[in-house]
Amino acid sequence: MHPDSVTDWLKKFSKRHGLPHINPHGFRHTMASMLYFNGVDSVSISKRLGHAQVSTTANIYAHVIEEADQRNADILSEIFLKKARL
């Protein structure tokens, strides 16, 4: 398979269905972000991405990790405040 085959197919598919174009590598970033936002640890995500070191993953996805952590803090805050009101 030629390396451009998937990219070309995605481009045509997106156009045909009125979707924004996303390159295949974008799915990789989407997967990692979704895993972080669902509480999966950096070691597991790093292995899935094939990074030799977890620090590589942490550096690339630092902004995602920070945002996911803030969401988790907000969730905990809501839980504790709800229980305090009961």
Tens digit of each residue's pLDDT (9 = 90 or more) over 18-34: 999 888 889 999 999 99
CA–CA separation, 61 vs 39, rounded Å?
A: 14
Asked if 61 and 49 count as a contact pair (C-beta separation under 8 A), the reply is no
pTM above 0.75, yes or no: no
Angle between helices 24-37 and 42-49 (to 10 degrees): 160
Tens digit of each residue's pLDDT (9 = 90 or more) over 36-77: 999 899 999 999 999 999 999 999 999 999 999 999 899 999
Q: Which two tokens stand for residue 75?
A: 């969730």
